[in-house]
Amino acid sequence: MIGQKAEDFPDLATEEMQCLRGYLTANDHNRYQFQAQGVLRLDVTHSNLLQRWHDIVFQDDMTIEAVKTKLYRHGGTPVGDQELYLRRGGSDTIFLYDDRKTLAQYGCKNGMEIHLKDTNPMSMSAHGGLEDVSQVEKWEMDDETYDKLENSVRACKRREKAKEEAERQRKIASGELVVIPEVEEVVEEIAEKFPLLSRCEVQPGGRRGEVAFVGKVKGMKGVWIGVRLDLPEGMNDGCGKDGKRYFECKGEGYGCFAKSDKVDVGDFPEIDPFASDDEI
């Protein structure tokens, strides 16, 4: 992002990222080799902006006044408010004070940097005025006012929902749609069929383990069986999607939640993963 350095992203220090960097910069040593005569590629920085312009194209016979005019279109700083400095590497910086001189007369070369100093203390770009969006006053609307709008997304959703419900009721009244009442699962009834610590097998995959939990899980409809698996063939470690722990198990992958029709309780001993079907 603008204004950030590679050090701000520790993941970029990995070997893979270093290889990618090497690939992308492999030809940097001859990047100016096929450039037209008189063309300069310079970086530009601004005293009030974090943004840095890379490889801006100039002509070496451009006067400093012409350079300022071009930079006005990039940073918005009027020509009269600009002071330009040429950074030639390290601490070697010179003030481009004479607007009549050219870049070539100041010894400007490819890859150097022009720093633009905005001398206007009331500049729009000062103190993050053009980049810091936190300074921009946001217009906010309370829920009550928003609910009264007829052309909002919320109002559109309400109208669509009302249409769908009206169509559903019409189909029910005409017999086109038959509503089958949902049978609410009762935790106690399911818990009787799936006693805690009883051996079980979970489908799909014939995964074996023992019942460790029976009940409701936040964010999931109905009653669920929590199974402590023998092998890491599950999707969790006994925690729900909300991070709440419902039962203990060996670790990540050793727990799963399944509906009652996917779990069979019975004589399901632990499977030896190293056993052979050919053994007698």
**pLDDT score, position 195:** 95
User: What is the value of pTM for the model shown?
Assistant: 0.45
Last residue of a domain, one of 99, 128, 157: 128
Whether residue 274 is contained in a domain is answered as no
- Residue 46 belongs to domain with CATH number: 3.10.20.90
**Domain housing 223:** 187-265
The pLDDT value given to residue 19: 85
User: Is 113 among the domain residues?
Assistant: yes
How many whole angstroms separate alpha carbon 279 and alpha carbon 275? 8
Q: How many domains does the chain have?
A: 2
| CATH code of the domain in which 247 resides | 2.30.30.190
Give me the tens of pLDDT residue by residue for the chain, a chain 280 residues long.
444 555 555 555 678 888 888 887 777 777 777 788 899 999 999 999 888 899 899 999 999 999 999 999 988 899 999 999 999 877 789 999 999 999 999 999 998 999 999 999 988 888 877 777 787 788 888 989 999 999 999 999 999 999 999 999 998 888 888 876 655 668 888 999 999 999 999 999 999 999 999 999 998 888 999 999 999 999 999 999 888 999 999 999 999 999 999 999 999 999 877 665 555 4
Q: With respect to residue 150, please indicate whether it lies within any of the assigned structural domains.
A: no
Q: What is the 3-state secondary structure (H, E, C) of the chain?
A: CCCCCHHHCHHHHCHHHHHHHHHHCCCHHHCCCCCCCCEEEEEEEECCEEEEEEEEEEECCCEHHHHHHHHHHHHCCCHHHEEEEEECCCCCEEECCCCCCECCCCCCCCCCEEEEEECCCCCCCHHHCCCCHHHCCCCCCCHHHHHHCCCCHHHHHHHHHHHHHHHHHHHHHHCCCCCCCCCCCCHHHHHHHCCCCCEEEECCCCEEEEEEEEEEECCEEEEEEEEEECCCCCCECCECCCCCECCCCCCCCCEEEECHHHEEECCCCCCCCCCCCCCC
Query: Domain boundary at 128, 149, 178, which?
Result: 128
